Amino acid sequence: MKHTGIILTVIIALGITACFPQRQAASSSSAPAKTDVDADCTLVYSEGKVTMDGKIIEIGAKIADGALLKTDVDGVAEIVFSQKNIVKMGPNTQIRLEVATLKRVVRLERGTFTAVLRKLDKLGGGSLEVKTPSAIAGVRGTSFFARFDPAKKEAYFCTCNGTLNLSLADGSGELVKTASHHLTTLFSGENGSVSVIAPPPGFDFGHTDKDLEDLAARIGETMDWTKVE
């Protein structure tokens, strides 16, 4: 009887040990927690008609990564991602916003795009790249404005406050533009025949100090025009 009791105790102990790893495995197989790149990307303000992949979206909508976003001729869309970065689409604008990986990319296919970026460094190496058919801007913690006009084949970037690393669409002709208060760079042409030109008389700069200040205020930030971000 004594030996029988010992055997039963060993069997029970082995059973408990066998069950424990199974419970551990089940726990570890649960969905991983979201990272900061998740990125909480949300439409926080809109005017006119704003669509995502052809469907009208309203304030509070979560933006699917890589989705095609459009505003109509009266449309405006303001989008916040990772809490302290805000971007604004102007009227008649079309973009793809890819912010769910370390390499954040905005593909500006037409229209205007304004940004106040305060938390790109939330992830190591955090940055953002704005791509147009004519030129590319590499951005890191900068406030800027971009416009692409497909009819004129013209890409315009303004370093509103900070630094833009600019280049042609093929990556050549790198320019570094740093400013505390607006610096215009204008590209003209396409398909290997792009040049940097001076803004012509009467050029529409498309934005003001107040536009940037209002955008910054929406994420609880301010613009300091006396120094480079």
Residue 125: the pLDDT is 61
Dihedral (Cα; 69, 170, 81, 146), 10-degree rounding: -70
At 39, the pLDDT band (50, 70, 90 cuts) reads low
Instruction: Confirm whether pTM is higher than 0.85.
Output: no
Mean per-residue pLDDT over the chain, rounded: 85
Q: Please check the confidence at residue 22 and state whether its pLDDT lies above 90.
A: no
> Which pair of tokens denotes residue 65?
């990564």
> Which pair of tokens denotes residue 146?
């971009």
- Per-domain residue ranges for the chain? 1-30, 42-218
Query: Who has greater pLDDT, 207 or 5?
Result: 207
At 61, the pLDDT band (50, 70, 90 cuts) reads very high
Helix (H, G, I), strand (E, B) or coil at 145: strand
Asked whether the beta carbons of 128 and 139 are under 8 A apart, the reply is: yes
Structure confidence by residue, pLDDT tens digits, 67-116: 999 999 999 999 999 888 999 999 999 999 998 877 789 999 999 999 99
Residue 8: the pLDDT is 43
- Record: fold of 42-218: Jelly Rolls (2.60.120)
